[in-house]
């Protein structure tokens, strides 16, 4: 991997791609839109003299975001989604919150209405992509190796292979992790955080960055509430404390309760993604 993420360098594997990174890890791109400090190579000593043998240290102003590289990849993806009228949703949660079950049910219920494709991120195995493909949707697995999150560059490559349809729905199931994926923009329209009621109700304030970055929180597995000591109101209050604009929907992907609200939200967001887009027939 040659984007900002170094934690799984060279270990990322995208299904169906023999991506060997023959362009090497150390790029020397010259991106026109990067801020470049302006410096002159004169000595910094008295009279700006170059004195042989003496140190010629100088200061360079950079003012560049550490994640600027990732953000460029994300912007490219976002542009692609816009041009093709694709609604892309980045699903984030801790491991075991029921992301994949939620997805398979969602696809089952919506595939008659929309073309749907899925990018699956996991450290290892293609199990999740296989589960998705069993529903009939297009799916592509990205294994991040040691990496703890997907980044804009990986998603860009995945799009080359997956080629989601014009006007379709794209779900990106991020690596189960409530910390790192918060910082890495993939170009998605919305981050959707999934929290199951078998987890603690204080997760939103324990992992504030993620709930701050998300536009929607799905409170999953509510069919289990009678057996648990989980305070739904408090959980929602915590989430809104971190992010006053966050929307919260309660549902159960197993029983189907509340799923209609989620589908409504998808339909509304999809319309917003496509309003005024000449590429997509109304």
Partner 1 sequence: MHEMSLCEGVLQVLEEQAVTQGYSMVKRVWLEIGALSGVEPEAMRFGFDAVMKGTLADSARLEIIHLPGEAWCMQCSKPVQVAARYEACPECGSYQLQVTGGDEMRIKELEVE
Give the nearer residue to partner 1 in terms of CB position, either 143 or 274: 143
User: Candidates 2-10, 91-99, 124-132, 265-273 — which segment interacts with partner 1 by CB under 8 A?
Assistant: 2-10
Contact 182, 211 (CB under 8 A): no
Please report whether residue 6 would count as binding partner 1 according to CB under 8 A: yes
> Taking contact as CB under 8 A, which single stretch among the options 83-91, 154-162, 204-212, 272-280 is the one that binds partner 1?
204-212
SS3 18: coil
Which positions from 23 to 62 touch partner 1 by CB under 8 A, shown as an x/- string?
---xxxxxx--x-xx-x-x-------------xxxxxxxx
Residue bearing tokens 């170009």: 187
Is residue 252 a contact partner of residue 222, using CB atoms and an 8 Å limit? yes
What is the rounded distance in angstroms from the CA atom of residue 34 to the CA atom of residue 147?
Answer: 26
Question: What's the closest the beta carbon of residue 96 comes to partner 1, in angstroms?
Answer: 21
What character string, x for contact with partner 1 (CB under 8 A) and - otherwise, covers 78-117?
----------------------------------------
- Pick 17 or 36: Cβ nearer partner 1: 36
Query: Looking at 49, 51, 65, 231, which residue binds partner 1 (CB under 8 A)?
Result: 65
Measured in residues, the chain has a length of 282
In eight-state DSSP terms, residue 165 is P
- Cβ proximity of 129 and 15 under 8 Å: yes
Q: How far is the CB of 17 from partner 1 (least distance, A)?
A: 21
Q: How far apart are CA 265 and CA 13, in angstroms?
A: 32
Q: Rounded distance, CA 78 to CA 75, Å?
A: 5
Q: From residue 119 to residue 148, what is the string marking binding to partner 1 with x (rule CB under 8 A)?
A: ----------------------------xx
The residue written with tokens 């560049």 in the block is 64
In contact, 245 and 213? CB cutoff 8 Å:
no
Tell me which of 140, 182, 192, 246 binds partner 1, using CB under 8 A: 182
Q: At what angle do helices 99-110 and 259-274 cross, to 10 degrees?
A: 70
Q: Which of residues 226-245 bind partner 1 (CB under 8 A)?
A: 238, 240-242, 244
Is beta strand 13-14 parallel, antiparallel or unpaired with respect to 138-143? antiparallel
- Which residues within the stretch 148-177 sit at the binding site for partner 1 (CB under 8 A)? 148-149
Which helix (DSSP H) or strand (DSSP E) does residue 144 occupy? none
Q: Which residues bind partner 1 (CB under 8 A)?
A: 4-7, 9, 26-31, 34, 36-37, 39, 41, 55-70, 147-149, 179-180, 182-183, 204-205, 208-209, 212, 238, 240-242, 244
């Amino acid at each position: 991997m040659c984007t900002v993420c170094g934690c799984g360098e060279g270990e990322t594997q995208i299904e169906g791609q023999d991506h060997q990174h023959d362009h090497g890890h150390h790029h020397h791109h010259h991106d026109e839109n990067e801020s470049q400090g302006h410096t002159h190579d004169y000595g910094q000593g008295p009279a700006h003299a170059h004195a042989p043998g003496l140190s010629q240290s100088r200061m360079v102003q950079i003012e560049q975001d550490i994640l600027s590289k990732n953000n460029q990849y994300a912007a490219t993806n976002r542009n692609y989604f816009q041009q093709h009228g694709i609604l892309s949703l980045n699903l984030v949660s801790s491991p075991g919150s029921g992301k994949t079950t939620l997805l398979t049910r969602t696809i089952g219920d919506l595939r008659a209405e929309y073309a749907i494709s899925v990018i699956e991120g996991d450290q290892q195995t293609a199990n999740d992509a296989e589960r998705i493909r069993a529903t009939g949707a297009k799916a592509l697995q990205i294994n991040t190796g040691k990496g703890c999150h997907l980044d804009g560059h990986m998603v860009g490559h995945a799009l080359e292979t997956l080629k989601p349809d014009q006007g379709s729905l794209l779900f990106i199931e991020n690596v189960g992790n409530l910390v790192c994926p918060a910082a890495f923009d993939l170009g998605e329209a919305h981050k959707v955080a999934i929290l199951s009621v078998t987890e603690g109700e204080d997760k939103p304030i324990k992992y504030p960055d993620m709930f701050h970055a998300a536009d929607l929180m799905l409170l999953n597995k509510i069919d289990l509430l009678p057996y648990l000591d989980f305070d739904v109101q408090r959980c929602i209050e915590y989430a809104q404390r971190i992010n006053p604009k966050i929307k919260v929907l309660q549902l159960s992907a197993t029983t189907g309760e509340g799923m209609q609200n989620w589908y409504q939200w998808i339909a509304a967001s999809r319309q917003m993604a496509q309003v005024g887009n000449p590429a997509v027939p109304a």
